Amino acid sequence: MKLFQLLIVILLVFVNPTSRAFCQDVTLSWDRSPTPEVAGYNVYYKAHNSELPFNGVGAEEGKSPIDVGNTLTTTLTNLDDDVDYFFSVTAYDLETESSYSNIVSTSWLPALISPRDGVTDEPDPATFQWEIAPAGYIVTYTLFYGTDKTEVRNAAVIVAPPTVPGQNNIPQFMIAVLVALMLLALQYRPLKKVPLQVVTLLLLLLLGGGLTACGGGGGGSGGDSAASDSNSSEVYSIKMGNDDYHQAYDLQPSTTYYWKVVATDAMDQTLSYESEVWQFTTEKF
């Protein structure tokens, strides 16, 4: 099978609003493949998410994929307005089609910078770097990396549940103080008339209510790496805040890693922007 050298370094997307009601035109451009036998390019698209396959419909030019011939730019017209579309390009010859290029969208996605996709002999420590969000986006970043592509792709930012209105959140130190005061009160003579079983029951109720009020919260990474619960491999997630890079000292030599970045809206944690998944192989340390 022929190996394509499809180096679509940057697949650019330009959104052009049109005069037609509820429509948008999207112009795409890409770099030429260095493989001389390339006969043309296919443009793939899909609405709402970047999960494969890219089997979108609705463009005036046809359903995905669209054969655009041996050209380096094309425009998809009559796409639904206010809908996020995702795009990728492949090269083909008479027998073979390449893999997908990088993925772009009509909405912003964090672009990965380094380590470059497919690079080998990545030195130690590896420096992960990605694109900062443009003006108007207030986000925090979470870096995911591991040795299993599927697990990295499926890894998601854990959103803390909202606080229940009226929930009694008693600080733990207050529980300790109340217990100490009750034990101290047992030294007074009037309370010695109270049966021991009653005092024990009151202590248990106090401790149980305090633990219920204070417990139940999940722990975030707080900037430190945390392995996923997967048994087959480890996926590390690192909350980076506003930083756009991370140096990893925990990588193994001669190992292929997959990584991505998820940007989470600071005002609405259910809204996130996820990069594509890149891979690299570390050098023999």
Do the domain assignments include residue 7?
yes
pLDDT of residue 81: 81
3-state class (DSSP) for residue 136: coil
pLDDT of residue 34: 83
Do the domain assignments include residue 145?
no
| Distant-in-sequence, close-in-space partners of 278: CB < 8 Å, separation ≥ 6 | 112, 115, 116, 117, 118, 258, 259, 260
Domain limits for position 199? 172-214
Tokens of 67: 């054969």
C-alpha distances in Å from residue 177, one per residue of 65, 105, 169: 68, 56, 15
Do the domain assignments include residue 53?
yes
Please tell me the total count of domains within the chain: 2
User: Which residue's structure tokens are 């997307």?
Assistant: 13
- The model carries a pTM of 0.54
Chosen domain end from 107, 135, 151: 107
Query: pLDDT tens digits, residue range 147-195?
Result: 999 899 888 887 666 555 555 555 666 666 666 666 666 555 455 555 6
Tokens of 195: 């049966």
Do the domain assignments include residue 146?
no
pLDDT of residue 201: 64
Do the domain assignments include residue 157?
no
pLDDT of residue 3: 46
101 & 5 share domain: yes
91 & 178 share domain: no
Do the domain assignments include residue 27?
yes
Chosen domain end from 65, 92, 107: 107
**pLDDT tens for the 285 residues of the chain, in order:** 444 554 443 455 555 544 444 678 888 888 888 888 899 999 999 998 777 889 999 999 999 999 999 999 999 998 988 888 888 899 999 889 988 887 788 878 888 999 999 999 999 899 999 999 888 889 999 999 999 998 998 888 876 665 555 555 556 666 666 666 666 665 554 555 556 656 666 666 655 555 444 443 333 334 555 554 434 468 899 999 999 999 999 999 999 999 999 998 888 777 788 888 999 999 987
Residue from 102, 97, 146 nearest 250 by CA = 146
Nearest-angstrom CA–CA distance, 97 and 65:
12
188 & 102 share domain: no
3 & 93 share domain: yes
Chosen domain end from 214, 243, 273: 214
CATH code: domain of residue 40: 2.60.40.10
